[in-house]
């Protein structure tokens, strides 16, 4: 059963405890595994994931109650950004001298197998930052922020979802070309 973001927001703002229990159960069911995967792939444990996700749900609840969630992204994206932010802050406070490697799932692009290697993520992000603003922002919106094609279409004033897909594809192709040209890129 899919619950629309607007309904989740309405239930939380209404304060109906029975309905909120259903909403929280739904959020756990839909998003807990992704959050756990992120935390486990970034030096965390199952216990860390449970703690961080629970804290993120509380933060999400508070943000909605205070009217701070403006709907500029989906609740899924907003919740995951809370999880990510909380986990990275927790990691920094635990081990400030240990570099943090953020792993992102690029699995839906056939040409990006090399990008899955965590030691290369920082280099890829540095290359993305050197790209033109539009491509850099499109790739970050899709891969790092988890925005859907429709959101990217609206954000960058592209004519259709297909135009957004085409733009992402062209930007990804440029990124792969830049990676191949990078003289210090480790060949695997």
The residue ranges of every structural domain in the chain are 5-94, 110-181
| Average predicted confidence (pLDDT) for the chain | 78
**Count of Cβ atoms closer than 10 Å to residue 60 Cβ:** 21
Model pLDDT for residues 40-72, shown as the tens digit of each residue: 888 888 888 889 999 999 999 888 888 888 878
| Closest to 75 in 3D by CA, of 30, 123, 120, 112 | 30
- Position 180 scores a pLDDT of 78
**Count of Cβ atoms closer than 10 Å to residue 8 Cβ:** 20
**Whole-angstrom distance, CA of residue 98 vs CA of residue 101:** 9
- Position 120 scores a pLDDT of 57
Q: Residue 161 — very low, low, confident or very high, per pLDDT cuts 50/70/90?
A: confident
**Whole-angstrom distance, CA of residue 80 vs CA of residue 31:** 8
Model pLDDT for residues 119-157, shown as the tens digit of each residue: 456 677 788 888 888 888 888 888 777 888 888 888 888
**Whole-angstrom distance, CA of residue 60 vs CA of residue 4:** 15
Topology annotation, domain 5-94: Rna Polymerase Sigma Factor; Chain: A (1.10.1740)
Q: Which residue has the higher pLDDT, 19 or 111?
A: 19
DSSP SS3 for 183: coil
Q: Which residue has the higher pLDDT, 105 or 26?
A: 26
Per-residue pLDDT for 30 more than 50?
yes
Residue ranges of alpha helices (H) inside 44-148 are 46-65, 75-94, 121-130, 133-139
Mean pLDDT of 83-93: 85
């Amino acid at each position: 059963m899919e619950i629309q973001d607007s309904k989740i927001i309405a239930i939380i703002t209404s304060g109906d405890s029975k309905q909120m229990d259903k909403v929280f159960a739904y959020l756990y069911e839909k998003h807990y595994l992704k959050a756990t995967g992120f935390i486990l792939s970034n030096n965390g444990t199952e216990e860390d994931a449970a703690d961080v996700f629970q804290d993120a749900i509380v933060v999400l609840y508070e943000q909605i109650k205070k009217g701070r969630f403006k709907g500029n992204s989906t609740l899924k994206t907003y919740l995951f950004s809370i999880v990510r932010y909380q986990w990275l802050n927790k990691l920094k406070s635990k081990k400030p001298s240990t570099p943090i490697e953020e792993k992102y799932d690029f699995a839906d692009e056939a040409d990006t197998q090399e990008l899955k290697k965590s030691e290369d993520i920082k280099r890829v992000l540095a290359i993305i930052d050197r790209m033109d603003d539009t491509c850099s922002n499109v790739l970050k919106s899709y891969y790092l922020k988890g925005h859907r094609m429709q959101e990217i279409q609206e954000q960058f004033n592209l004519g259709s979802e297909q135009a957004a897909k085409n733009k992402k594809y062209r930007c990804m192709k440029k990124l792969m070309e830049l990676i191949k040209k990078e003289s210090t890129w480790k060949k695997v």
